[in-house]
Structure 1
Amino acid sequence: MKAILIAAAIAMVVAILFTPYLIRFFSRQGFGQEIREEGPQGHQSKRGTPTMGGVAILVAMWTGYLIAHLINAMSDGSEAPTISGLLVLFLATGLGIVGFFDDFIKIRKGRNLGLNKTGKMVGMLLVAVAFAIVASQFPDDFELRPASLNVSFVRDIAILSVGTVGFIVFCYLAVAAWSNAVNFTDGLDGLAGGSSAMVFGTYVVISFWQFRYNCGVDQPTVGCYHVRDPLDLAVIAAAAMGACIGFLWWNAAPAKIFMGDTGSLALGGLVAGLSITTRTELLMVVVGGLFVVEALSVVLQIAVFRTSRRRLFRMAPFHHHFELAGWAETTVIIRFWLLAGICAMFGLGLFYSEWLTATGS
């Protein structure tokens, strides 16, 4: 429990203190955000705001995670970082690097288009496949690997076994879906950062609960979870939550810096990684419900327009629809934060109710 609190606190402080240095550095380098001409006109005033702030989130998250382990090791000789924790951090960092190149190209070319679809897809594919192979094949004394070949809700669903190849494909689809979903949500000041903090806060509770009621494959116990390294995953979720909150200090409206694709792709990768390693892939659809709605709004907008040549929403992603309907930006942000919180709490309620059912409580 101590490591969780330390990771969250350190990550938040690092993000709050480090982000202003990034703002000044990126401003001097001219690393300003480009704004879509077809977007809401009120956003044009944001042109030139420093971007790639996701660097601060990643630095804060890594710092909080490593310092928490260092302090624990010095005080009581706790275990070193685990394979599950490092895999999730690798996934987030790898996607953050893909996002960084995307942001950098946008800035250099002075347009709102960075990597082409092929370049971004290849980058995501390489990171996701590396994660999937290690997560599904890494050996363990008890044969409990970081990820299961079964799709899970709160526990493995036996009839939804996908096999090794299927798991690699599933991982790529999950990574691509969540990264794009968070990226779509990152369209208003603080919307993605605040929503992500709620999701990661929920996974602090879920992972810690799995740690309290964890068991190996050779130790069947009613209601227990077959999850590898759940406590370390809780530490990562706490560090990510703290990093998002600290970054939000500067990213809240009116934003002094944007996270860019560097941040949104990294956070999407973290969402995917946590859902896979905690074996709650389907539950994450509920916990991260706001991200799902934002992504679906884009898919529906494209599908309806291509079939009927009409627009379902005034503009997609969904949050822009309400801006164009006359809502103030801060109103949209706060109400969407409320929706994100409702989704997170509902998902946590489903998680707990499943445990009650499993234990017969």
Structure 2
Amino acid sequence: MIYYLHQILDINILGYITIRAGIAFFIALFLTLFLMPKFIRWAQKTSSVQPINNWAPERHQEKAKTPTMGGVVFIGSTLFASLLTINFSNHYALGALLTLGLFVLIGFQDDFAKIKKNENLAGLKARTKMILQILSALIVAAFLCLFAEFNTELYVPFIKTPVLDMGIFAIALWVLVIVATSNAVNLTDGLDGLATVPSIVALTSFSIIIYATGNAIISEYLLIPNIPVGEVSIVASALIGALAGFLWFNCHPAEVFMGDSGSLTVGAFLGYLAVISKSEILLLLIGSIFVIETLSVILQVGSYKLRNKRVFLMAPIHHHFEMKNWAENKIIVRFWIIAILSNILALITLKIR
């Protein structure tokens, strides 16, 4: 809507991506700050609270009455702000909205099932959830191929030209990136604000990369592919604003959790951003915290099955530090610091080509 005002009313400033990204950020921020207290009161009244896994550290039991499913609010705010500000003729921006919409529905189903049965493990079955995620990622990948005419070349950091054209196999990579990142953020969301700030930092990095990728002059200077994805930085900016509003209530001690409706969706969107910016490999550094959390689970399960021994006291790794009696705030802030440093390194690599 706002984009078309610059054409109708000849307000040129509203045509700029940076201006509309700023507008989207503040709309999503203030809408989340306005709606979240109302959602928290409703959730408390209806007992829509977080069921705690019996295997979680004992101190987590005190969080059993904390409202969950806050992701519905901040993803809804993101979608609303994006619909007001994007150029609807840009297929990559529409793909971003499609990704958010599909994955928030999966997360909502999972959260609702857990709340209804008051059991942490009573959500969607793991196989069902994975199938739904893969199908959703396939829909997004098909959309990119059919409507955005997205190329299938693979880029790696430090090399200024594509290393190969993956052809039809690109779809498999895109699905893997989106689904894997979705689940990685979901695994990380175990402490107050632990997944929120690394997500904000990663979204900020991708916003910069995507804006540069969509700008012919900047992309030529940085020797990165020039793809018309700049409009997606508006959606990313809206999600950053919404997450900042959510963090106001999610910081320790949390008043609300994002639930799977938030973590699965944010992760899938980060995967989508990595795909359209040709940063699938760089995602490993941008999402370092999510990678570390996921690897800790893989190592723990693999070691126990092969050697009948555990690598960590508990996985994901943030629980390991809890078992070592680290204060929750210390774990959270140190993970935030790692996320910030790794993203600075990721942005530095853009100039090393």
Q: TM-score, normalised by structure 2?
A: 0.89
Distance in 2, matches of 1:227 and 1:92, equals 24
Matching of residue 109 in structure 1 with residue 117 in structure 2: yes
Equivalent residues of 2:52, 2:64 under 8 A apart: yes
Match of 2:335 in 1: 336
List per-residue Cα deviations over 1:252-292 (Å, max 9, x = no partner).
Answer: 11111100000000001111110011111111111111111
Distance in 1, matches of 2:124 and 2:59, equals 26
Q: What does 1:13-162 correspond to in 2, within 5 Å?
A: 13-69=30-86, 79-80=87-88, 82-113=90-121, 114-138=123-147, 145=149, 147-153=150-156, 158-162=162-166
Cα distance 1:156–1:239, how it changes in 2: closer, same or farther (>3 A)? farther
List per-residue Cα deviations over 1:268-320 (Å, max 9, x = no partner).
Answer: 11111100111111111111111111100000010111111111001110111
Matching of residue 168 in structure 1 with residue 171 in structure 2: yes
Distance in 2, matches of 1:280 and 1:124, equals 21
Equivalent residues of 1:227, 1:279 under 8 A apart: no
Cα distance 1:159–1:212, how it changes in 2: closer, same or farther (>3 A)? closer
Match of 2:210 in 1: 207
Match of 1:345 in 2: 344
Distance in 2, matches of 1:84 and 1:104, equals 30
Helix, strand or coil for the counterpart of 1:84?
A: helix
Distance in 1, matches of 2:95 and 2:198, equals 23
TM-superposed CA distance for 1:342, in Å, is: 0.9
Greater shift after overlay, 150-159 or 105-114? 150-159
List per-residue Cα deviations over 1:129-158 (Å, max 9, x = no partner).
Answer: 11111112326xxxxx3x331222357864
The runs of 5 or more residues in structure 2 that have no matched partner are 1-17
RMSD: 1.9
Matching of residue 183 in structure 1 with residue 186 in structure 2: yes
Distance in 2, matches of 1:120 and 1:353, equals 39
2:83 maps to amino acid: L
Helix, strand or coil for the counterpart of 2:231?
A: helix
Distance in 1, matches of 2:313 and 2:164, equals 38
Distance in 2, matches of 1:170 and 1:50, equals 36
Distance in 2, matches of 1:158 and 1:252, equals 41
Greater shift after overlay, 205-214 or 182-191? 205-214
TM-superposed CA distance for 1:223, in Å, is: 4.6
Match of 1:324 in 2: 323
Greater shift after overlay, 94-103 or 58-67? 58-67
Distance in 2, matches of 1:105 and 1:13, equals 29
Once the two structures are aligned, what percentage of the paired residues are identical? Answer: 33
Equivalent residues of 2:160, 2:224 under 8 A apart: no
Equivalent residues of 2:187, 2:293 under 8 A apart: yes
Match of 1:76 in 2: none
Match of 2:239 in 1: 240
TM-superposed CA distance for 1:26, in Å, is: 1.7
- Count how many residue pairs are aligned between Structure 1 and Structure 2: 334
1:352 maps to amino acid: K
The runs of 5 or more residues in structure 1 that have no matched partner are 70-78, 140-144, 355-361
Distance in 1, matches of 2:191 and 2:129, equals 23
2:183 maps to amino acid: N
Greater shift after overlay, 222-231 or 331-340? 222-231
Cα distance 1:157–1:120, how it changes in 2: closer, same or farther (>3 A)? farther
Match of 1:142 in 2: none
TM-superposed CA distance for 1:16, in Å, is: 1.3
Equivalent residues of 1:227, 1:277 under 8 A apart: no
Cα distance 1:14–1:53, how it changes in 2: closer, same or farther (>3 A)? same
Distance in 2, matches of 1:323 and 1:12, equals 31
Distance in 2, matches of 1:136 and 1:64, equals 26
Distance in 2, matches of 1:195 and 1:172, equals 22
List per-residue Cα deviations over 1:311-336 (Å, max 9, x = no partner).
Answer: 10011101111111111001111111
Distance in 2, matches of 1:159 and 1:305, equals 38
Once superposed, which parts of structure 1, at least 4 consecutive aligned residues long, lie more than 6 Å away?
none
2:102 maps to amino acid: G
Distance in 1, matches of 2:46 and 2:78, equals 25
Match of 2:270 in 1: 271
TM-superposed CA distance for 1:127, in Å, is: 0.7
Equivalent residues of 1:322, 1:332 under 8 A apart: yes
Distance in 2, matches of 1:232 and 1:91, equals 15
TM-superposed CA distance for 1:173, in Å, is: 1.3
Equivalent residues of 1:8, 1:243 under 8 A apart: yes
Equivalent residues of 2:155, 2:163 under 8 A apart: no
List per-residue Cα deviations over 1:38-83 (Å, max 9, x = no partner).
Answer: 21111100002111110112112112222334xxxxxxxxx43521
Equivalent residues of 1:215, 1:226 under 8 A apart: no
2:132 maps to amino acid: G
Helix, strand or coil for the counterpart of 1:188?
A: coil
Match of 2:258 in 1: 259
